[in-house]
Homo-oligomer: A and B are copies of this chain.
Amino acid sequence: MSQERIVRIERDILSKNDAYARVNRARLARTGTLALNFVSSPGSGKTTLLCRTIAELKHRMPIAVIEGDQQTSNDAERIRATGVKAVQVNTGRGCHLDAHMVLHALDDLPAEPGGLLFIENVGNLVCPSAFDLGEAHKVVVLSVTEGEDKPLKYPDMFAASDLMLLNKSDLLPHLDFDVAACMAAALRVNPRLQILTVSARTGEGLAALYAWIEARAAEARRLQPAPEPMT
């Protein structure tokens, strides 16, 4: 295939994706739902972090989860064990969730007003950055067991995200990981990025993460349109 043809196909795919993303965004807005798209390399600890967050927030607001993985429904089962509804999307050979997959997954989830929708993307620090799923924010999770230069090596993902969670901070005493250098790299790529250091194991930083989420969930509820009058 010629280079021009590849570029044209990529553009077509992304413009179709964006059309579905707009549909998802409008649908989420109608129920005042805050959707967060969690992206990261495989093994960054996204599912563990989500399980703890759900356990601690589910009494404050309705929560549902869309789990993206190439294969298996292991992660959805871990999420369901917390007591909330989860839909597993298997992308097969696909390396990312797209907005059309999310549209169908939304059909299988309760549309409870004022809720929180977590989308756990396929573990991949590259491709998911290009796909808007209709979420309010991408949240990139980086484990301190990865290199501090990751934001410079994978800038698109850090540029596309609004919040970075530097996860597994409980391991810092055992590692040679320079937190400030990592933050500096991330801020060089995205000067507006918000950064929180967290540990799903010890709970470090989770109070701040919950405050970040709750402020945005309140905003999503506030912007929910009034229901149409009955006719």
Contact = CB atoms under 8 A, between A and B. Distances in A.
Copies in the complex: 2
Interface stretch (A35-43, A50-58, A127-135, A190-198): A190-198
Interface of A is mostly: helix
Contacts of A187: 208, 211-212, 215
Of the four ranges (under 10, 10 to 19, 20 to 34, 35 or more), the interface on chain A belongs to 20 to 34
A99 to B, nearest CB: 25
Contacts of A183: 196, 205, 207-208, 211
B191 A216 contact: yes
A188 interface: yes
A135 B110 CA distance: 47
Contacts of A207: 178, 180-181, 183-184
Given A180-B205, A187-B215, 7 more contacts: A180-B204, A180-B207, A183-B205, A183-B211, A191-B212, A191-B215, A194-B195
Interface of A: 178-181, 183-185, 187-188, 191-196, 204-208, 210-212, 214-216, 219
